[in-house]
């Protein structure tokens, strides 16, 4: 039996989400802030789907950590009344703060003290978090900008379904892209392309659109529907039709 709180967007009765925009100065590095609170009398298994962002997460009940890109979905158990405030860094743009390859954070989390030396901001407001980040402003890194631009191109052009097509669009080589993404994004370009093409699927599901799955799989560059379904389930933990019930 599925948890009824998963279905038909019922989670909105128990959670509140806000997404403040970063200031123009920090927009070079920060994609968005996210502020989530929840109230669950009975523990709830929250599905978290991956994106190629590094996150700085502050627990409202105390403590903070940095989480790298996750190569697959995760489940976090939410219970009681609590919340988190997060900083989603632009893909490729956490490398200047970290000072080493972002791939060292992939599929893991580290305590905030391993990366940042300033005390945790209190109270947790956008202004205080921005002051915290500005106090640790990194040196410019042109390759971080190049990585961010490559990800933006993937997002903007749905016809990019392979690394070879991306390399041609950027006038570079597949190997050079693989090195750039490993160092600055934390995961390979093939994974990022697949993630954003599958994101287009979830947007259609959220909109309630009727979908010809076989035709969609072909549009996304899959040899057949079975390969598409396998990749979707690996990324989201559920088949496309099972995931659609969440909306």
Q: What is the CATH number of the domain that holds 204?
A: 1.10.10.60
Statement to judge: residues 43 and 95 lie in one domain: yes
Contact 13, 28 (CB under 8 A): no
* Residue 207 pLDDT: 83
Q: What is the tens place of the pLDDT at every residue in 25-61?
A: 999 999 999 999 999 999 999 999 999 999 999 999 9
Interval 139-188: pLDDT, tens: 999 999 999 999 999 999 999 999 999 999 999 999 999 999 999 999 99
Full residue range of the structural domain in which residue 30 is found: 4-134
Domain tally for the chain? 2
The pLDDT of 60-67, averaged and rounded, is 95
Query: For residue 221, what pLDDT is reported?
Result: 82
Where does the pLDDT of residue 23 fall: very low under 50, low under 70, confident under 90, or very high at 90 and above? Answer: very high
In this structure, the answer to whether residues 189 and 96 fall within a common structural domain is no
Query: Which pLDDT does position 223 carry in this prediction?
Result: 86
100 and 34 within one domain: yes
Which candidate, 201, 233, 204, 199, places its Cα nearest to that of 217? 201
Indicate whether 119 and 184 sit together in one domain.
no
């Amino acid at each position: 039996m599925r948890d009824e709180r998963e279905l038909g967007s019922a989670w909105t009765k128990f959670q509140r989400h806000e997404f403040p925009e970063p200031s123009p100065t920090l927009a070079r590095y920060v994609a968005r802030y996210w502020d989530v609170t929840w109230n669950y009398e009975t523990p709830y298994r929250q599905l978290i789907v991956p994106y190629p962002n590094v996150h700085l997460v502050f627990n409202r009940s105390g403590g903070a950590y940095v989480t790298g890109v996750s190569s697959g979905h995760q489940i976090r158990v939410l219970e009681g009344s609590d919340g988190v405030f997060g900083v989603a860094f632009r893909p490729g743009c956490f490398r200047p703060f970290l000072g080493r390859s972002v791939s060292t954070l992939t599929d893991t989390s580290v305590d905030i003290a391993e990366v940042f030396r300033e005390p945790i901001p209190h109270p947790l407001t956008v202004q205080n978090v921005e002051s915290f980040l500005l106090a640790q402003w990194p040196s410019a890194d042109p390759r971080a900008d190049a990585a961010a631009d490559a990800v933006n191109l993937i997002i903007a052009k749905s016809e990019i379904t392979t690394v070879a097509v991306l390399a041609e669009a950027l006038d570079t080589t597949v190997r050079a892209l693989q090195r750039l993404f490993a160092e600055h994004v934390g995961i390979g370009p093939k994974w990022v392309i697949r993630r954003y093409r599958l994101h287009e699927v979830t947007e259609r599901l959220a909109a309630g659109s009727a979908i010809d799955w076989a035709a969609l799989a072909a549009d996304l560059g899959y040899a057949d529907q079975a390969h598409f379904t396998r990749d979707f389930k690996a990324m989201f933990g559920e088949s496309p039709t099972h995931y659609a019930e969440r909306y």
